[in-house]
Structure 1
Amino acid sequence: MKNFTIERIDHIVLRVTDLERSLAFYTSVFGCELRKRRDDLGLLHLGAGESMIDLVAVDGPLGREGGAAAGEQGHNVDHFCLRIEPFDEQALLAHLAAAGLDVEKAQMRYGAEGKGFSIYCTDPDGNQIELKGPALEP
């Protein structure tokens, strides 16, 4: 019998080819903050709201356990979704374009809170990120 409930995603772990480039991307584009650095493992813990995004260097002690880096024929994950506030589509599109990201207009998509608008973009390693606003429909 289950004696627990899931509250939220605690963290995700992304294997990356250039730890410093990814650190710069997640801190400058999304405002994540470096919480802890584990150079002995090739691991960075980034604060992402109430959750964390961990970055692991593919050529580091932890990263080597996962095999080759993601590429055209293989990916680390399909995508992950960050719930953001506020969700101002025009401001988001301008911010992401200024960061050199190719993005499309927001679309209604289903998420943990229901259907709401979201935008997709990718990080320097090709990981797809969904930026999701509040639910507008159940």
Structure 2
Amino acid sequence: MKTLFVSYRVTDLDRSLVFYTAVGYVELGRIEVGDGSRLVILKFPDEPAASLELVHRPSDGPVDVGNGFDHLAIQVETLAATLESLTEAGLGPGPLQYPGGPHGPKTSWLTDPDGYRIELVEWPSGHPDGITAADFT
């Protein structure tokens, strides 16, 4: 088994697409569900398949993210360059942080238009992609 993608319900699909496109996602495809509801499937250019689905159901009203969801984590190659690009796009990322100390990962936080939090992570040189069992030894 493996995780296929994360799905977010969004209040304003166009506003969310502007945000996630500025983060670096590209649109893979759309599905019209009916009643004005749409699904938009996104991925990063270097990913082989979808990693994020935006669900727009206008009849459900505005999104309330206070439902226990905490955050999405996105790995970046160079966090400083990513933060500069996001700032230039007007997305207002948070400051650079070192949660594991000076030799650990670098992180920053970003919030999407509906209030979903996104953690941007740059792993230290030589660290495998993602969190592995080695991170807990």
TM-score by length of 2: 0.71
Q: Does 1:132 align with 2:107?
A: no
Letter in 2 for 1:11: F
Structure 1, unaligned stretches of length 5 or more?
Answer: none
1:18 aligns with 2:5: no
Partner AA of 1:35 in structure 2: L
Q: Which has the higher strand share?
A: 1
Matches of 1:123 and 1:12, distance apart in 2: 14
- Counterpart residue number, 1:53: 52
Question: How far did 1:93 drift?
Answer: 2.5
Aligned counterparts of 1:81 and 1:30: Cα–Cα separation in 2: 12
Percent of counterpart pairs with the same letter?
Answer: 31
CA RMSD of aligned residues (A): 2.7
Cα deviation for residue 75 of structure 1 reads 4.7
Aligned residues, how many? 119
Change (3 A) 1:44 1:120: same
2: CA distance between counterparts of 1:82 and 1:14? 15
1:3-46 CA-partner distances (Å, limit 9, x unpaired): x5x5xx4210111001111112111x122111110122411110
Letter in 1 for 2:55: V
The alignment's TM-score, normalised by the length of structure 1, stands at 0.71
Counterpart of 2:70 (choices 78, 81, 84) is: 78
Query: Are residue 69 (structure 1) and residue 63 (structure 2) matched?
Result: yes
Q: Identify the residue that residue 130 of structure 2 maps to in structure 1.
A: none
